Amino acid sequence: MTDDELPAPAEVLPHRPPFLFVDSLQLLAPGERVEGFWHLTGDEWFFPGHFPDRPTLPGVLMLEALAQLGACAVLSDDRYQGKLPLFGGADRVKFRRQVVPGDRLDLAVTMDRLGSRAGRGSGVARVGDEIAAQANLTFVLVDA
């Protein structure tokens, strides 16, 4: 798909603000691979409390952003219409860089395995050329 043909994340995902952590898709190969980003403005609801004098994106929200992006690849595949991918787990998680207000978190997820009831993918979140987080993600599919 070209940039002109890519849907907005909210057209694919059931998530809505303040819990939608993907701003835009940049590449979408349904059921295979997806890339997008989340630009952190500093106005997000969690920064005042995490941490008051040093706002930092919580690592679990980086994982959630990767999971949401992966869900875009799954839900764009016609085989999974009427399904909802739920986070089933994460392993080999590494947090490598702090993410702060003003950063753009570039996200990429590759589906490693997709079945009728579950799947697995690997994701990487970057700020510029630096890896901020990486993980293997597992999800289960339920009826929406």
Return the active site residues. Answer: 50
The DSSP call for residue 7 is P
80 within 8 A of 20, measured Cβ to Cβ:
no
* 104-114 and 118-127 beta bridge pairing: antiparallel
22 within 8 A of 68, measured Cβ to Cβ:
yes
57 within 8 A of 104, measured Cβ to Cβ:
no
Residue 80 in 3-state DSSP? helix
Chain centre to alpha carbon of residue 71: 8
**Amino acid of residue 126:** R
